[in-house]
């Protein structure tokens, strides 16, 4: 009856939560984002691949929204006409690119730059005038959604500053990198949108990752430009993350922005933080922990590896009840985070499941393993403890101390009788793996303690290893 | 940190109050300095957990009343203002108190029938504390001094000592370190046993006589350790790292497991290998094609390759990555442990995986494969054919999946998976929903259903349904910008435990000045 009530309560809570998830309009304290003007680029308006900047993927939905936040550009503009047909160079409108040293600089041309050809006068934005009667001189020729009934009011162009360090001057003037190298074939498109902004994948052809802070000259020479793109300049380019990415005062990359969380792309050292990265991160961190340290402090790692609060992603549900099965399956590998003879054994002793534990727990203890006839007696059968130890010894070590094993496996004459074995313990049942004899001499020389735990110093078996 | 939001009059007032509070506290603590370059970060994390677990036979029942607190202090840019690419000096430290107030005092009373060797109620540990210098001597030399971690192919490890790094113009990085392995112990060591090699049960035996719990070995208070690594990066698509580490046991150690039953008393002294291993890892990745990773570890004491692993991932297109992985692992233990010579067979996993990014909001992964366990001889017919030269194998099959959908202010996550074989199965999944209500409040809900069976202990088979409800609040946008107070309530239902409840209270505070 009680569990039915629990289930009923659970279903009510679930229903309420799902309803809550669905009610996107009921954001407490939040405001809906204003709808984008029709002329703003949307994800559905994919450009032809050849026109996009080098490094873009087919259907990559533009550059990172975290680095280049969503823009609003309610303008009607045709780069193709201006550049290709009218022969207007990039610098004519974007001249500031030659001197800009910050990514926050606005490189959009001022509206007055249009006046010469369009016959307009944008010097005073609250009183824009025109002496051009043709459409090209009218406000709605360029300003999408312009309402003649509300003169001098146009939708604002919003281009948030990129969350990035970047100097156009270094690249354009210093290294003489062509605009197309980063922005693609702008001269072939109408309105240039976020989709024409550079992709990190192209940046790293010069800024070779891992090449250090300003020492990547050799690597940069090896970089290959994307097909069709202008050749990469032969110059040193730092491969350090902090060359381009913003940093916190502690020197780590800033990863939390209003536009989202900065995460590595899947192609960056195979470190895409997908749903299974927690299982895969061992290989990435083991090979190059400094790469992880670009964003993570040690406290992030020790939260799990030396942690004290059970991470549910690793240990789901009632893990206390199912952990014995998980340990036997070696899934996940317990030793990644736990020292068996301190973390595991102490709790197993307290709960009374160990063989050598507090005397006070012995009376209440039942048999943990299968019956003796199957578990320990000869001959070995499928459920014999020897097989279990061979298939995954770590599971045994989380409960058993050396004496539990030595009682039978030590050679005769070693050890006392043990509590349940009887007089003469040290049954001499050889537990060593195949091929042990070829290794025992060196092992004995490096550390004799395990040998002497089971063998007397004058034991013939031991003498063979001396 | 600069924040570029527009504030109203109320916001400005609140900010002024908070800044005043911050300035006041800073002055009290002596941090304030009108023209300083260093940054100070103080953070505290508190977790209180309350739950109960019992023995498979019902008694004893353990009450866990856990209280964990960590306190971190870091000072960045100690070197002062200067070239941002020049030398950089910082200090980082973290203390932890890990208490369980649910313990019975009898469990810690020597000679009591319920006594547990090594059990402590509220150990205080110094997780790490080190001074770090980077980019010295022309940007080529760095160092760390103090208690620190090492992350490499050989595992996650900690020691007290010094580490020096040397980077060269040819993209080779050398690293060498020496010191003492972090081992368990109270003052003055403030250490945890977490980083000791597996297979030994050590602790403080000051009040024990030799025959009492003889296998609870006296803790090795000083265990010298040293190691080095050579890392090569920036060579086109290749990155590799060679790591070596040796730890030495120097204390006098008991070798007889049966002292309490009248056997003789033997001790062994002198330097002994605790562990000595070398590992190598290699990554080759191309942003356009995919990545290959491999690692191998050789254990000198056991004279075996104790681990080797490899993965291959292909970036099929911008949305799909597929891959294969292989992992082979043989348990090894501290050189003092007899378990080294009971270790026979590796556990091997072979998995395939696919990751699909449907959009910026929705991604999913699926992996599956097999894990096999080896035995010397066939377990099924060993009685009639006891041939240890043949290798028997037991296969488990596993399948795991995960998906995540981000919507506006929250996310919906799915994790499901399982593994099944002759020794039983685990199968289940969790659905987690998280949502922010504003910049201050957040909530979460998790529903979990798992089923497991244990062929060796059928009485522990169960189907378990559980849920977690939680929420948190961030005190304010300024002074406690990165702080949070959270509460989670967990309820699990299955036939093994009936109802299990767990309450978790967390408090995270961070002050950056």
Percent of chain A whose predicted confidence (pLDDT) is above 70:
81
pLDDT-based confidence at residue A163 (cuts at 50, 70, 90) = very high
In this prediction, residue A232 carries a pLDDT of: 45
| A-chain residue closest to B301, CA distance | A443
- pLDDT over threshold 50, residue B395: yes
CB contact under 8 A, A350 and B196: no
**Contact between A270 and B39 using a beta-carbon 8 Å cutoff:** no
Name, in order, each residue with C-beta under 8 angstroms of A279's C-beta and a sequence gap of 6 or more.
A332, B367, B400
The answer to whether residue B301 scores a pLDDT higher than 80 is: yes
pTM of the model: 0.85
DSSP conformational letter for A35:
P
Structure tokens at B409: 């202010």
Q: How confident is the model at residue A425 (pLDDT cuts 50, 70, 90)?
A: low
In sequence order, what are the residues at sequence separation of 6 or more whose Cβ sits closer than 8 angstroms to the Cβ of residue B426?
Answer: A322, A325, A326, A329, A331, B418, B419, B420, B450, B451, B452
Provide the 3-class DSSP secondary structure of residue B452: strand
Tokens for B70?
């960590």
Percent with pLDDT over 70 in chain B = 90
More confident residue, A169 or A239: A169
pLDDT exceeds cutoff 90 at B494: yes
| B183 in Cβ contact with B219 (< 8 Å) | yes
Q: Is the per-residue pLDDT at A308 higher than 70?
A: yes
For testing the chain A interface, which of B4, B147, B173, B344 should be mutated: the one with the most A CBs within 10 Å? B344
- B198 contacts A318? CB cut-off 8 A: no
The pLDDT assigned to A424 comes to: 46
Cβ contacts below 8 Å, chain A against chain B, sum to 507
CB contact under 8 A, A212 and B234: yes
Total Cβ atoms within 10 A of residue B446: 21
CA dist B160 and B222 (Å) reads 10
* Contact between residue B177 and residue B152 where contact means Cβ atoms under 8 Å apart: no
Residue A422 confidence (pLDDT) above 80: no
Q: Which pLDDT does position B260 carry in this prediction? A: 59
Torsion angle in degrees (nearest 10) through CA of A104, A108, A112, A118:
-170
Query: What are φ and ψ of residue A83, in 5° steps?
Result: -80, -50
pLDDT at B427 over 90: yes
- Structure confidence at residue A16 (pLDDT): 56
Give the tokens for residue A107. Answer: 């490189």
User: What average pLDDT is seen over chain B?
Assistant: 87
Q: Is A18 helix (H, G, I), strand (E, B) or coil?
A: helix
User: Is the model's pLDDT at A173 over the cut of 60?
Assistant: yes
Interface of A with B in 420-439 (CB under 8 A): 425, 431-434, 436, 439
3-class SS letters over B293-349: EEEEEEECCCCEEEEEEEEEEEECCCCEEEEEEEEEECCCCCCCCHHHHCCCCCEEE
Q: Is A46 on the interface with B (CB under 8 A)?
A: no
Q: CB–CB of B57 and A366 under 8 A?
A: yes
pLDDT tens digits for range B278-296: 999 999 988 889 999 999 9
d(C-alpha A377, C-alpha A359), whole Å: 25
Q: Which residue has the higher pLDDT, A13 or B361?
A: B361
Give the integer Cα–Cα distance in Å for A337 and B200: 16
Q: Is the pLDDT of residue A306 over 90?
A: no
> Under an 8 A CB cutoff, do B192 and A3 touch?
no
Bridge partners, B419 (sequence order) = B398, B426
| B 154-173 residues inside an 8 A Cβ radius of A | 155-156, 167, 169-171
Q: Does the pLDDT of residue A226 top 50, yes or no?
A: no
User: Would you place residue A240 in the very low, low, confident or very high pLDDT band (cuts 50, 70, 90)?
Assistant: confident
Buried b (16+ CB within 10 A) or exposed e, A77-90: bebbebbeeeeeeb
Contact A447 B374 (CB under 8 A): no
| DSSP string computed for A101-141 | -STTS--SPPTHHHHHHH-EE-SSGGG-EE---SGGGSHHH
Confidence of residue B8 (pLDDT cuts 50, 70, 90): very low
Does residue B31 carry a pLDDT above 60?
Answer: no
Contacts of A336 in chain B (CB under 8 A): 155-156
pLDDT of residue B3: 32
Q: For residue B67, what pLDDT band results from cuts at 50, 70 and 90?
A: very high
In this predicted model, which residue has the larger pLDDT, A209 or B351?
B351
Q: Do B438 and A29 touch (CB under 8 A)?
A: yes
B212 and A CB contact within 8 Å: no
Indicate which of B255, B290, B414 best probes the interface with A, i.e. most A CBs within 10 Å of its own CB. Answer: B255
Residue B477 has pLDDT above 70, yes or no: no
Tokens read off for B126 = 């110094």
Q: What are the chain A neighbours of B217 within 8 Å (beta carbons)? A: none
**Distance to chain A for B162, nearest Cα, Å:** 17
pLDDT tens-digit series, residues A91-142: 999 999 999 999 999 999 999 999 999 999 999 988 899 998 999 999 999 9
Please report, rounded to a whole number, the percentage of residues in chain A having pLDDT higher than 90.
Answer: 43
- Judged by a CB distance cut-off of 8 A, whether residue B207 touches chain A is no
Q: Which residue in the set B300, B386, B438 is minimally distant from A28, CB to CB?
A: B438
pLDDT confidence of residue A12: 58
**Count of all residues that appear for chain B in the document:** 513
Q: Please give the average per-residue pLDDT across B497-502, as a whole number.
A: 92
Which residues, at least 6 apart from A349, have a Cβ–Cβ distance to it below 8 Å? Answer: A357, A358, A361, B116
Mean of pLDDT values over B162-169: 93
Q: What is the pLDDT of residue B337?
A: 94
- Residue A419 or residue B408, greater confidence: B408
Q: Is the model's pLDDT at A218 over the cut of 60?
A: no
The answer to whether A318 faces chain B, any CB pair under 8 Å, is: yes
| Longest CA span, chain A | 115
Distance from CA of B16 to the nearest CA of A (A): 22
B503 and chain A in contact, CB less than 8 A: no
Query: Residue B241: what pLDDT?
Result: 95
Nearest to A67 by CA among A261, A239, A251, A238: A261
* Chain A interface includes B74 (CB < 8 A): yes
Nearest residue, CB atoms, B287 vs list A60, A201, A387:
A201
**Distance linking the first and last C-alpha atoms of chain B:** 9
Of A13, A312, A5, the residue nearest B443 (C-alpha): A13
């Amino acid at each position: 009856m009680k569990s039915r009530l629990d289930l009923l309560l659970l279903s009510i809570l679930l229903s309420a939560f799902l309803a809550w998830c669905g009610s996107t309009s009921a954001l407490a304290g939040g405001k809906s984002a204003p709808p984008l003007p029709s002329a703003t680029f949307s994800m559905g308006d994919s450009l032809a691949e050849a026109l996009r900047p080098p490094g873009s993927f087919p259907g990559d939905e533009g550059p990172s929204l975290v680095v280049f936040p969503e823009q609003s550009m309610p303008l009607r503009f045709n780069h193709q006409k201006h550049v290709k047909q009218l022969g207007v160079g990039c610098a004519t409108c974007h001249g500031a690119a030659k001197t800009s040293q910050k990514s926050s600089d606005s490189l959009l041309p001022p509206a007055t730059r249009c006046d010469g050809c369009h016959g307009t006068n944008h010097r005073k934005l609250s009183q824009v005038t025109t002496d051009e009667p043709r459409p090209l001189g009218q406000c709605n020729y360029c300003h999408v959604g312009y309402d003649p009934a509300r003169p001098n009011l146009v939708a604002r162009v919003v281009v948030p500053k990129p969350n990035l360090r970047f100097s156009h001057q270094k690249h354009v003037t210093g290294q003489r990198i062509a605009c197309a190298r980063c922005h693609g074939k702008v001269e072939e498109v109408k309105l240039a949108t976020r989709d024409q902004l550079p992709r990190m994948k192209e940046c790293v052809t010069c800024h070779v990752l891992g090449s250090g802070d300003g020492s990547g000259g050799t690597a940069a020479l090896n970089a290959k430009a994307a097909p069709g793109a202008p050749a990469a300049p032969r110059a040193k380019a730092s491969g350090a993350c902090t060359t381009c990415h913003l940093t916190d005062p502690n020197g780590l990359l800033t990863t939390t922005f209003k536009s989202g969380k900065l995460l590595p792309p899947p192609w960056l050292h195979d470190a895409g933080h997908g749903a299974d990265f927690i299982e895969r991160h061992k290989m990435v961190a083991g090979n190059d922990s400094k790469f992880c340290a670009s964003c993570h402090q040690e406290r992030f790692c020790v939260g799990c590896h030396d942690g004290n609060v059970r991470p549910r992603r690793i240990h789901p549900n009632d893990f206390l009840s199912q952990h014995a099965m998980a340990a036997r399956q070696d899934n996940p590998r317990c030793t990644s985070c736990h020292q068996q003879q301190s973390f595991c054994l102490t709790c197993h002793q307290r709960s009374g499941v160990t063989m050598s534990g507090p005397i006070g727990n012995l009376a209440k203890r039942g048999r943990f393993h299968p019956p003796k006839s199957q578990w320990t007696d000869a001959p070995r059968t499928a459920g014999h403890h020897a097989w279990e130890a061979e298939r995954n010894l770590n599971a045994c070590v989380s409960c058993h101390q050396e004496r539990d094993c030595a009682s039978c496996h030590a050679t005769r004459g070693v050890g006392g009788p043990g509590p349940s074995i009887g007089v003469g313990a040290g049954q001499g049942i050889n537990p060593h793996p195949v091929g042990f004899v070829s290794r025992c001499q060196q092992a004995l020389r490096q550390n004799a303690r395990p040998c002497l735990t089971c063998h007397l110093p004058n034991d013939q078996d031991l003498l063979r290893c001396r | 940190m600069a924040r570029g939001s527009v504030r109203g009059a109320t916001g400005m007032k609140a900010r002024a109050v908070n800044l005043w509070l911050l300035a006041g506290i800073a002055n009290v603590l002596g941090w304030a300095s009108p023209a300083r370059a260093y940054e100070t970060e103080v953070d505290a994390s508190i977790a209180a957990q309350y739950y109960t677990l019992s023995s498979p036979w019902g008694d004893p029942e353990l009450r866990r009343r856990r209280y964990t607190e960590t306190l971190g202090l870091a000072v960045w840019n100690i070197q002062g203002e200067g070239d941002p690419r020049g030398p950089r000096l910082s200090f980082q430290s973290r203390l932890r108190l890990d208490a369980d107030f649910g313990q019975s005092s009898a469990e810690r009373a020597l000679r009591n029938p319920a006594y547990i060797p090594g059990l402590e109620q509220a150990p205080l540990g110094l997780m790490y504390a080190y001074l770090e210098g980077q980019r010295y001597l022309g940007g080529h030399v760095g160092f760390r001094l103090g208690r620190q971690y090492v992350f490499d192919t050989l595992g996650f490890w900690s020691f007290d000592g010094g580490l020096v790094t040397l980077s060269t113009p040819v993209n080779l990085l050398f690293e060498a370190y020496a010191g003492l392995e972090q081992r368990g112990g109270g003052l003055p060591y403030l250490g945890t046993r977490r980083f000791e090699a597996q297979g030994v049960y050590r602790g403080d035996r000051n009040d024990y006589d030799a025959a009492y719990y003889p296998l609870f070995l006296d803790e090795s208070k000083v265990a010298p350790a040293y190691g080095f690594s050579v890392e090569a990066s920036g060579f086109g698509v290749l990155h590799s790292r060679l790591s070596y580490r040796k730890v030495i046991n120097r204390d006098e150690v008991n070798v007889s497991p049966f002292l309490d039953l009248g056997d003789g008393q033997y001790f062994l002294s002198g330097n002994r290998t605790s562990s000595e291993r070398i590992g190598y890892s290699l990554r080759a990745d191309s942003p356009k094609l995919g990545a290959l990773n491999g690692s191998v570890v050789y254990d000198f004491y056991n004279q075996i390759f104790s681990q080797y692993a490899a993965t291959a991932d292909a970036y099929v297109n911008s949305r799909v990555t597929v891959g294969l992985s292989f992992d082979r692992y043989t348990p090894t233990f501290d050189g003092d442990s007899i378990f080294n010579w009971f270790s026979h067979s590796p556990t091997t996993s072979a998995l395939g995986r696919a990751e699909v990014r449907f959009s910026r909001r929705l991604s999913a992964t699926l992996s599956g494969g097999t894990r096999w366990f080896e035995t010397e001889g066939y377990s099924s017919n060993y009685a009639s054919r006891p041939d240890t030269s043949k290798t028997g194998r037991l296969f488990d099959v596993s399948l795991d999946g995960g998906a995540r959908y981000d919507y506006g202010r929250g996310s919906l996550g799915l994790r499901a998976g399982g593994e099944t074989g002759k020794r039983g199965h685990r199968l289940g999944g969790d659905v987690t929903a998280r949502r922010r209500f504003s910049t201050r409040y957040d909530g979460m809900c998790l529903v979990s259903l798992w089923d497991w069976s244990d062929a060796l202990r059928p009485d522990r088979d169960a189907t378990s349904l559980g849920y977690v409800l939680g929420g948190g609040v961030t005190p304010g946008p300024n002074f406690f910008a990165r702080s949070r107070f959270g509460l989670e309530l967990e309820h699990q239902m299955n036939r093994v435990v009936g109802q299990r409840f767990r309450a978790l209270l967390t408090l995270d505070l961070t002050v950056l000045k």
